[in-house]
Amino acid sequence: GNVSMSDNGLQLIVVDGTDTGGWILDLTDDSYAQIVAVGFNGGTTVCFLDGYFILNVPNSGIYQWSGLYDGTAWDGADTANAEGSPDSLVAVVTVHRQTFLIGGNTIEVIYNTGATPDPFERVQGVFIEYGTNAPFSVQQTANTIFWLGNDKSGSNVAWMADGYNPRRISTTPI
């Protein structure tokens, strides 16, 4: 099946969309092992932000973060809910030191405040009302993100984030 990967310079994490499917490749000694931390909830997609791996917990509105620069350390309490809409998170992606939490219908954006115990906070006033049901269509390139989603009538659309605004990049025939 599909996997998502991200690295922190020391480790490469791989998740496969299941609650137990997570592996770490240690880039310093090339060892590879499954993540066995009790608090690890699995993820569909994973990204990196300011020393933390962040993933969306499958079939929920919850995102989770790892220990600082340690993809083997996961605390079950290091989670938060994307609360702007009741849709499930399907993907996470980082751009401009902010993580986009992408749901089936909406997108919220978080950043690292440095606070404890929860270092992440929503960017106030940012709420995008076009999500995706195709988590692996979400891509970060050219300092923005692209994704496949729908418009308000339910038609399939290719979107690009123009700052915090969704911009349609596909034509009606496409």
Q: What is the pLDDT of residues 33-49, one digit of tens each?
A: 999 999 999 999 999 99
DSSP letter at 155 equals: -
Q: What is the pLDDT of residues 58-103, one digit of tens each?
A: 999 999 999 999 999 999 999 999 988 888 999 999 999 999 999 9
Its pTM surpasses 0.85: yes
User: According to the model, what pLDDT value does residue 113 have?
Assistant: 96
State whether residue 136 is helix, strand or coil: helix
User: According to the model, what pLDDT value does residue 125 have?
Assistant: 93
Give the residue among 67, 77, 132 at the shortest CA–CA distance from 102: 132
**Could you tell me if 52 and 68 are in contact, meaning their C-beta atoms sit under 8 angstroms apart?**
yes
Reply yes or no on whether the pLDDT at 140 is more than 90.
Answer: yes
How buried is residue 58: exposed, middle or buried, by Cβ count under 10 Å (0-12/13-18/19+)?
Answer: buried
| H or E stretch at 52 | strand 52-56
